[in-house]
Structure 1
Amino acid sequence: MARTLLLIALCVLPALVSAVRPNTKPFSVEGRVYCDTCQAGFETPATTYIAGAKVKVECKDRKSMQVVYSREGKTDSTGTYKILVSEDHQDQLCDAVLISSPQNDCKTVAPGRERSRVILTSYNGISSETRYANSMGFMKAEPMSGCAEVLRLYQEEDV
């Protein structure tokens, strides 16, 4: 009986300890926030990047869809954000989400570009702790001048 308890303790205890302790190397969620100056719905050569935009990483439970983790960050002068997440969110749905833009002329969230899914677990074969989120964006109320030429670059030509 004592040997069985000792065997269980030696097998189960290390697993419990490693499951409870936080990651020694935190995940770094990185991405960019842009202003869609041409209302194209995607990044173009006329796109500008927003410094000081607020972003958050939010993780939800898969079953209840309740938020179980949230951490905010801001973009730097290049429109890039880096948010450190120290926990492994193996069974949760995690997204980078736009909060606000400091630019008064570019505050409307671009449809479909308000969030980006990120995988925050070490159990998926990715060796790096850096997780890159797709760019998220706001759009101007009125397109700037010169957008017709920019959008013409994306038109298909009939052959």
Structure 2
Amino acid sequence: MAKTVALISALCFLAAVVHGHQTEHFNVEGDVYCDPCRVQFETVLAQRLIGATVRLECRDLVKKAVTYSVEGVTGFNGHYSLPVVGDHQNEICEVAVVKSPRPDCIEPMGDFAKSRISCTTNDGTHAAVRFANPIGFMTGAAVPQCTPVLFDLGVLVN
């Protein structure tokens, strides 16, 4: 009986040690688009960017030093998927646009050129995928087709 208790205790201890040293793995996914109306939100005229470069960076809250960084490129329909290794609970993590594949749409969308994302499982989220808000670039000037679209949305009024 004592041997059985000792064996069970040893197995429980070993399981706890192994579980404590597991590395977190999940993906951050999102979309990148071109805003031809320069309104910094998606309209019917916005186009998803295939081949746009994005970067996920996590920074230490105190020292502001980069602790994790990974880049990726959007594929079909302007969608990206970036791997996250490790837990980044005490860090600020953001996905940002880096490079547009379109020479006519290269201006990052200000505050909407990046999206903050939680990269920890200690926030109650245990999903294998975390979804970031859409991010993107703008054209140098709004295209003429934007006026009726923005009227329909109520952004412009007579």
Tell me which interval the TM-score lies in, with the shorter structure as reference length.
Answer: 0.7 to 0.9
Q: Deviations over 1:20-64 (max 9, x none)?
A: 4312xx211000001001111211111001000000110000100
Match of 1:124 in 2: 123
Q: CA deviation at 1:125?
A: 1.4
* 2:99 counterpart of 1:135: no
* TM-score relative to the length of structure 1: 0.83
Q: CA deviation at 1:127?
A: 2.9
Q: CA deviation at 1:124?
A: 1.4
Q: Is the 8 A contact 1:36 1:138 kept in 2?
A: yes
Match of 2:6 in 1: none
Q: Deviations over 1:65-92 (max 9, x none)?
A: 1101100000003000000112111111
Match of 1:146 in 2: 145
In the alignment, the residues of structure 1 paired with residue 59 and residue 134 of structure 2 have an alpha-carbon distance, to the nearest angstrom, of 21
Q: Secondary structure at the residue paired with 2:126?
A: coil
C-alpha RMSD over aligned residues: 2.3
* 2:69 counterpart of 1:49: no
Match of 1:70 in 2: 69
Match of 1:105 in 2: 104
Q: Quick check: which one's helix share is greater? A: 2
User: Which residue type is aligned with residue 70 of structure 2?
Assistant: R
* Equivalences, count: 148
In the alignment, the residues of structure 1 paired with residue 128 and residue 73 of structure 2 have an alpha-carbon distance, to the nearest angstrom, of 20
Q: CA deviation at 1:12?
A: 8.7
In the alignment, the residues of structure 1 paired with residue 156 and residue 30 of structure 2 have an alpha-carbon distance, to the nearest angstrom, of 33
Gaps of 5+ in 1: 1-9
* TM-score relative to the length of structure 2: 0.84
In the alignment, the residues of structure 2 paired with residue 19 and residue 96 of structure 1 have an alpha-carbon distance, to the nearest angstrom, of 28
Match of 1:83 in 2: 82
Gaps of 5+ in 2: 1-10
In the alignment, the residues of structure 1 paired with residue 74 and residue 94 of structure 2 have an alpha-carbon distance, to the nearest angstrom, of 16
